[in-house]
Structure 1
Amino acid sequence: MPVSRQELFDVLSQLGRALANGHRLALLEHLAQRDAPVEELAKASGLSIANASQHLQHLRRAGLVTARRDGRQRVYRLTDERIPRLLTLLQEVAETHLAEMERLMGRLFADDDAGETLEPMTRAELQRALENGEVTLLDVRPNAEYQAGHLPGALNAPVAELESMLSALPRDREIVAYCRGVYCTFSHDAARLLHERGFQVRCYQAGILEWRAAGLPLAD
């Protein structure tokens, strides 16, 4: 029996239904940082373990995540390197066409310095600066995420520990801080702290999610 185009669209809609929940998108963003057990994912997303497990099962049925046993833990991971690109495209389309996204983004980073000191750096600008050795790159995510993969040449300075690491940072060159993605506040918190302490600092405007989505290499 011939397959209709509608049947194909109906199957495709299964993916859309799996993504139609903010908690699931947050879980995917976290898994774009590293493989993680359900307990960690629940804590990171503010969910109970039971609710996180339910959302992960939706994502698993849609083929977006898979799981393996590691002792007593069930560890989840993304099934496809294209998933960060999918998340990035969703964000870009939403920010272009949904006025609510612009309003919320403004509130999320309302405390940022309005001057050029904290002006975000694009991926192209960051690549050029790294190639020319012009900046010190800081990954301000937790160490476990840094160890799972980071931008080449980045130093790990978790935002919670940054205050104690200031003496090791250069004052004669620009520092660029980055974190998980465009909605992650770690890099903005780090940049504000560094700016207040007299450092030259900017944020990479997106984060490791966009870097991965562009197919650029990571170090481990």
Structure 2
Amino acid sequence: MTRLPSAQSLVQDSADLARTLGHPHRLSLLEHIAQGERAVESLAQLSGLSVANASQHLQHLKRAGLVQTRRDGKRVLYRLGDGPILPLLAALREFSEQQRHRVQTMVDDSVYQPDTLEAIDCDALLQRLQDGDVTLLDVRTEADYTLGHLPGAINIPFEELAQRLAELPADRPVVAYCRGPHCLLSHDTVIALRARGLEALRLINGYPQWQAAGLAVETGPAVQSLT
């Protein structure tokens, strides 16, 4: 008869998982892998690590079941493992932010006025996309966008936003999204666009959560302009 794991062994497993996640490089790697399947060389570059260092951290994540691999010729590609990994990462971020009072700090700061925090969820966005009355803006990197993005989104990485404002139609609101609910890029995009007189709001969730919900996504290079 198969023996069920004891409460103590489950606690130990949880502790082992927490120990695996207890390194900023591994959390950074998981965030990049959540955007789409990538090779170790790409992950190393995105995370600012050497290939050897990135590979070592990825092996820890793989042993814990947090990532999986497949071979593509000579390359080994990494993707998220099975299970509720995205909610786990989101919960870690949320708790960390709560502890540091980041949300309260942003609300109190004169730059981050409460109205700039306006956001919509996936259901509301789907309705507005169906009505055709918004411009969907992906402010992640072009590499992230190419791996997968929301249907119809244009890609203007946040650092290029000031130089490419003319690519955004001025006759309808802009909905910005980025890597996840606690990624500040979409938040800062809304502030920047509103400062220039454009109507803008952000998607509460990011691309990984949209994809995890089973909603339609697209892949391929960025659309340069809608104007």
TM over 0.5: yes
The reply on whether 1:179 has 2:178 as its aligned counterpart is yes
Q: Which residue of 58, 64, 67 maps to 2:66?
A: 64
Q: How far is the alpha carbon of 1:8 from its aligned partner?
A: 4.6
Distance 1:218 1:105 in 2: 33
Could you say which structure has the greater relative contact order, defined with CA pairs below 8 angstroms and 6 or more residues apart? 1
State the partner residue of 1:212: 211
2:66 is matched by which residue type in structure 1? Answer: L
Q: After the TM superposition, which of the residue ranges 75-84 and 151-160 deviates more from structure 2?
A: 75-84
Which string of whole-angstrom CA distances, capped at 9 and with x for unpartnered residues, describes residues 113-170 of structure 1?
A: 4152552333343233223322111111122211211112212222233344322321
State the partner residue of 1:17: 19
8 Å contact kept, 1:118–1:201: no
> Could you say what secondary structure the match of 1:18 adopts?
helix
State the partner residue of 1:153: 152
Distance 1:85 1:45 in 2: 21
> Structure 1 pair 104/197, CA: closer, same or farther in 2 (3 Å)?
closer
8 Å contact kept, 2:116–2:190: no
Distance 2:25 2:104 in 1: 18
2:81 is matched by which residue type in structure 1? Answer: T
Distance 1:115 1:67 in 2: 43
Show structure 1 runs of 5+ residues with no match.
Answer: none
Identity of matched residues, %? 47
State the partner residue of 1:133: 132
Q: How far is the alpha carbon of 1:193 from its aligned partner?
A: 3.1
1:34 is matched by which residue type in structure 2? Answer: G
> Could you say what secondary structure the match of 1:67 adopts?
strand
8 Å contact kept, 1:66–1:78: yes
Distance 1:99 1:171 in 2: 36
1:24-35 matches, within 5 Å, as: 24-35=26-37
Distance 2:152 2:83 in 1: 22
Q: How far is the alpha carbon of 1:216 from its aligned partner?
A: 3.0
Which string of whole-angstrom CA distances, capped at 9 and with x for unpartnered residues, describes residues 146-198 of structure 1?
A: 12111122122222333443223211211011111133233234333322332
Aligned residue pair count: 217
Which string of whole-angstrom CA distances, capped at 9 and with x for unpartnered residues, describes residues 77-122 of structure 1?
A: 2233742233234444x16xx7424337846x96854152552333
1:56 is matched by which residue type in structure 2? Answer: L
State the partner residue of 1:41: 43
8 Å contact kept, 2:26–2:58: yes
8 Å contact kept, 1:85–1:212: no
8 Å contact kept, 1:88–1:209: no
Q: After the TM superposition, which of the residue ranges 52-61 and 112-121 deviates more from structure 2?
A: 112-121
